[in-house]
Amino acid sequence: MSPSPEYCLFGIDHWLICMQKSEWASWVQAVGSILAILGAAGIAWWQYLKVKRAEAERARVVDRAKLMALAHILVRAQAAIEIARHHIASEDLKHFYLAVDEMGSVRALIDRVPLFEIPIPGLMGKLQDANRYMVRCAVLGRALYEAPTAEGNAIILKAIEASAAQLKAARDICVSHIAKLTCPGDPPVTMEAPDDAKPVERDR
């Protein structure tokens, strides 16, 4: 019985690439199996990356929305602090007390912020410090309203300045991270407090 004819790859007669038909079939099957495995692995990896990209995008959108909401609260807090500073500096205790009420509303908003969900660890401390100084302003403001003194004014101004510094630092952190999280097509960033959220100066 004569040996089976050999088939050479590209017609090149060399023992490394010349095999019988059954051997070529085995090699083709083996290579096909390897390619199928690699293809399946590649598809699975591509799907994994797609899911991770989608999760990262969702996290970016959520974090940006949280920071924008917080930034607006800080804008409102800064407006209240500025009005309080103006009234205490002009010794207008009646209207200063109204500004203290606005600070109380802002503190209530900050208190409702889930601090441990804030995507910037350092921001939590700034908020807590600002809140603490605003509480001090409210307590001192009530005492000063009942018994006004120049020394009391100076103490409250110091607390207001400290609170304003912490609020500015917190807002700057927010704005900086919002910019980093912003992509083309995102809603524009506006840092102005709406008119109904701004403390209104009243005539004396």
Encoding tokens for residue 164?
A: 């304003």
Pair 153, 88: CB distance under 8 Å: yes
Predicted TM-score (pTM) of this structure: 0.66
Backbone angles phi, psi at 66, to 5 degrees: -60, -45
The pLDDT value recorded for residue 15 is 47
| Residues of the chain under the 70 pLDDT cut | 1-17, 19-21, 145, 190-204
**How far apart, in whole angstroms, are the C-alpha atoms of residue 67 and residue 49?**
27
Q: Does domain 58-197 have CATH number 1.20.120?
A: yes
Residue (of 71, 69, 67) closest to 79 by Cα position: 71
The pLDDT value recorded for residue 200 is 47
The pLDDT value recorded for residue 143 is 73
Backbone angles phi, psi at 20, to 5 degrees: -75, 165
The pLDDT value recorded for residue 44 is 92
Backbone angles phi, psi at 7, to 5 degrees: -115, 125
The pLDDT value recorded for residue 191 is 61
The pLDDT value recorded for residue 46 is 93
The pLDDT value recorded for residue 54 is 93
Tokens 């001192």, located at residue: 140
